[in-house]
Structure 1
Amino acid sequence: MSRLILIIIFFLISLLAVFPAPAYYFWLLAILVTEFPLLFVAIMVALLLAGLKFQKYQVACLITGVAAILLYLSPIYRAAAIGRALKADMTTAFGTTSEITGEPFSIMKLFKATADVAYKTHTYITYADTALTLNYYPSQLDGKKPCVIVVHGGSWAGGDKDQLPGLNSYLARKGYNVASIDYRMAPKYTNPAPVLDIKEALKYLTTHADELKIDTNNFVLLGRSAGAQIALLAAYTLKDNRIKGIIDYYGPADMVWGYSIPGNPWIMDSRAVMEAYLGGGYDKVPENYKASSPLEFAGRDAIPTLIIHGRNDVLVAYEHSRRLDLKLEEYNIKHYWLRLPWATHGFDFILNGPGGQLATYAVESFLKSTTQQHSPPTPKGK
């Protein structure tokens, strides 16, 4: 009986591979379920094998266990299907992808560990009441290279530049400089303070470009969640021709619509989070919501945009990306929306999971095309 109960529990957990999480801790579990699927498959197989010598509840255990295994495997075969088309899709949207080695998705890569690149911390701006720093991951290839400025998530009030460093190291090994920045946060600071911080980071990186080996004509912004809203807004409003593209990981693009449809309170009080960032509710400061919505500025002069979002995101609604995609399509802006049907918020915490692999491939393809890095790079020391 206890084995049947365990199998039922893991079957219920497997539902997180296809349905949104109902509460905060289930959301955290959903990241593991969808990005470490083989771990859960192994647990279920072990439970099934452990009961082969018992006859009681055997049929119920087998049916429930097999159903759970198929659900756990669903991110893998869905990722494989998306991966088969991703290279062609990225080429159609942006151009060059032929120089990128490897496939968008590989089952073998699920078992691969990632290697870190050493970084240095720099203070990039000192205000009267605070100083802001960035972690700088230098390109592991010789010469002046493009720079990716990474803006962390955290509901505009938390998180820091140390968040999700795996992609930073990966891009550095591929020949990109990466600057992961801190910025001024709510509730003490409100929009547009973080956007102005990105402007200061650009200024610092440009001033120190020679020592940091940065190609100052090739910056790309990358943001996650709240950081994606900041990065999108900076990309569309700073009008800086050195910024060649923007990568949006599950960012809130329409702050007005987002406030009107509050999220699941068992996950996060989304309205309270937005009020802290924008200085009040929509009824009090409607102009702040419009001014902080990247969607409002995604016009005919918007820059190339890569959107990455999981349909089962329970913190930032998938609808934000759909609206941004339609707006960019309306103005014929180069863009691509990588849709991940199984993925939830923060799926890229696991770089080599099904969603992590596809997103990383899309990011590398986007950087290759938007920064025009078409010649084979030379490794350091060669």
Structure 2
Amino acid sequence: MFYKKVLSWLALFLSFTSLFLSSWIIIPAPNMLLLTLAVGAPEISPWLFGLNLLCLLLSFFCIRRHQLQRLACTLSLIGLLICASVLVNIPLTQMQMAKAMKQELGADYLEQIPVQVSAKMQSYPFSLVNTFRGIPSGKTRHQTGIIFATSAGVPLKIEVYQPPTVGKYPALIVIYGGAWQYGNPRANSEFNQYIASRGYTVFAIDYRHAPKYRFPAQLDDVRTALNFIHKHAVEYEADPERMVLLGRSAGAHLAMLAAYQPDALPVRAVVNYYGPVDLVEGYKTPPRPDPINSRAVLKALIGGSLQELPNQYQIASPINYVTHSLPPTLLVYARHDHLVQARFGRQMYERLRDSGNTAVFLEIPWAEHAFDAIFNGVSNQLALYYTERFLAWALFSQ
């Protein structure tokens, strides 16, 4: 009898817990502590779906008291429905992404990619198996702690990921995010290793952080890194004529600025994962809720408020550098992003297109900021699939 009571209360507790975790798929996080749940919950929705289903079965078969059973089953059913809202949207989102790629790059863009390159890419935009086992990656070579510059006494380093065999490969320069205040080149190492195993030399670069170092220190460091990579490309088996910039969040902001400068080193393309593009409007209309205090973050970067330094906010906004001859740009944004709102990514896409540039805008309906921190998550599988194809198109078909 005691055993049955314990099992009943355990089933009820698990139902509450699974619903609590699942609820962050639809509830916006009010602070940084809960933001982790809001980022992760959609990405592990297949796991949570299974957990809710298990709780439903436990509640139905193990709870004898009718009221408790009904409560636990209701909680589990709500959790199942929330998780299903992600899973049933995957095929539609996949089709919309495929349509956007063909619309902007050409209906035959995949045919322009060499067979030996396309053969290495993921075969499917989403794999439930990969959600549970992880995305398979190949062997790579990894060099760490390479100092490319010392700025204001701060040593700046590069992590280099290379394919397993010696050769000459196109280069992907990766810039990490972190509100311009924290982070390091070791971030997103799974992605860097995966891309290197597919035949790219990946450079993950560093930059100085705010608030101690204010803008444009970060941009200066990125440009210094690009010059270093260009100069030492042969040493690291990279092709200086085939380089792409990829950044996440603050890193995407810096990638766009570096690529769009009038005197920028030429790159084949830019990949922007949920990056700020208009700091003026971002300051004026922060997200709600605003878990990182966006205005405080921008003031730390620029050195003051929009009212105090309006020109600096303009200078630091990539959207103000759009001209008619920029590298092709892939923009990947999350519709539920409460750090960098997806509407800014769409505005950047429209500005680029109106100026005669090639741009692709991909939006993930259920995702939150930094969704790709879960490398084998639902959203990153989709983003990675189309990022791979964009990179191959930009570097091998032109």
- TM-score w.r.t. length of structure 1: 0.91
2:244 corresponds to which residue? 220
Encode CA deviations 1:81-112: one digit per residue, 9 max, x unaligned. Answer: 22244345323322533534501112222123
Say yes or no: does 1:50 pair with 2:71: no
Give the counterpart of 2:142 among 87, 100, 119.
Answer: 119
Encode CA deviations 1:100-149: one digit per residue, 9 max, x unaligned. Answer: 45011122221232447442121111235222111001134553111111
CA drift of 1:7 comes to: 2.5
Give the counterpart of 1:90 among 81, 95, 101.
Answer: 101
Say yes or no: does 1:67 pair with 2:78: yes
CA drift of 1:32 comes to: 2.2
Contact 1:150-1:178 at 8 Å conserved across structures: yes
1:372 corresponds to which residue? 396
Tell which deviates more after alignment, 249-258 or 11-20: 11-20
Say yes or no: does 1:165 pair with 2:189: yes
Mapping 1:1-382, distance limit 5 Å: 2=9, 3-4=11-12, 6-51=14-59, 52-53=61-62, 54-57=64-67, 58-95=69-106, 96-98=109-111, 99=118, 100-114=121-135, 115=137, 117-121=140-144, 122-140=146-164, 142-240=166-264, 242-264=266-288, 267-372=291-396
In structure 2, relative to structure 1, the CA distance for the partners of 1:283 and 1:131 (3 Å cut) is: same
Contact 1:216-1:242 at 8 Å conserved across structures: no
Contact 1:145-1:176 at 8 Å conserved across structures: yes
CA drift of 1:67 comes to: 2.6
Q: Distance in 1 between matches of 2:149 and 2:343?
A: 35
Encode CA deviations 1:216-245: one digit per residue, 9 max, x unaligned. Answer: 011111111111111111111154353111
Q: Distance in 1 between matches of 2:140 and 2:42?
A: 27
Contact 1:94-1:370 at 8 Å conserved across structures: no
Contact 1:87-1:104 at 8 Å conserved across structures: no
- Which runs of structure 1 show a deviation greater than 4 angstroms over 4 or more consecutive aligned residues? 1-6
Aligned-partner residue type, residue 46 of structure 1: L
In structure 2, relative to structure 1, the CA distance for the partners of 1:221 and 1:69 (3 Å cut) is: same
Q: Distance in 2 between matches of 1:19 and 1:239?
A: 44
Q: Distance in 2 between matches of 1:224 and 1:43?
A: 31
- TM-score w.r.t. length of structure 2: 0.87
CA drift of 1:166 comes to: 1.2
Contact 1:152-1:163 at 8 Å conserved across structures: yes
Q: Distance in 1 between matches of 2:262 and 2:128?
A: 41
Percent of aligned positions that are identical: 32
Tell which deviates more after alignment, 178-187 or 238-247: 238-247
Q: Distance in 2 between matches of 1:113 and 1:13?
A: 21
Contact 1:17-1:33 at 8 Å conserved across structures: yes
How many residues in Structure 1 have an aligned counterpart in Structure 2?
A: 374
Q: Distance in 2 between matches of 1:227 and 1:241?
A: 17
Encode CA deviations 1:339-370: one digit per residue, 9 max, x unaligned. Answer: 00110011101122110101111211111111
Q: CA RMSD in A?
A: 2.2
In structure 2, relative to structure 1, the CA distance for the partners of 1:128 and 1:251 (3 Å cut) is: closer
Aligned-partner residue type, residue 175 of structure 1: G
CA drift of 1:260 comes to: 0.7
Q: Which runs of 5+ in 1 are unaligned?
A: 375-382
Contact 1:147-1:179 at 8 Å conserved across structures: yes
Q: Distance in 2 between matches of 1:185 and 1:273?
A: 12
Aligned-partner residue type, residue 110 of structure 2: T
Encode CA deviations 1:180-229: one digit per residue, 9 max, x unaligned. Answer: 11101111222222222122112211222222111101111111111111
Counterpart of 2:110 in 1: which secondary structure? coil
Encode CA deviations 1:6-46: one digit per residue, 9 max, x unaligned. Answer: 52453343232234223322221122211111222232222
Contact 1:27-1:314 at 8 Å conserved across structures: no
In structure 2, relative to structure 1, the CA distance for the partners of 1:113 and 1:14 (3 Å cut) is: closer
CA drift of 1:158 comes to: 0.7
Aligned-partner residue type, residue 49 of structure 2: V
Contact 1:135-1:179 at 8 Å conserved across structures: yes
In structure 2, relative to structure 1, the CA distance for the partners of 1:214 and 1:238 (3 Å cut) is: farther
Aligned-partner residue type, residue 318 of structure 2: P
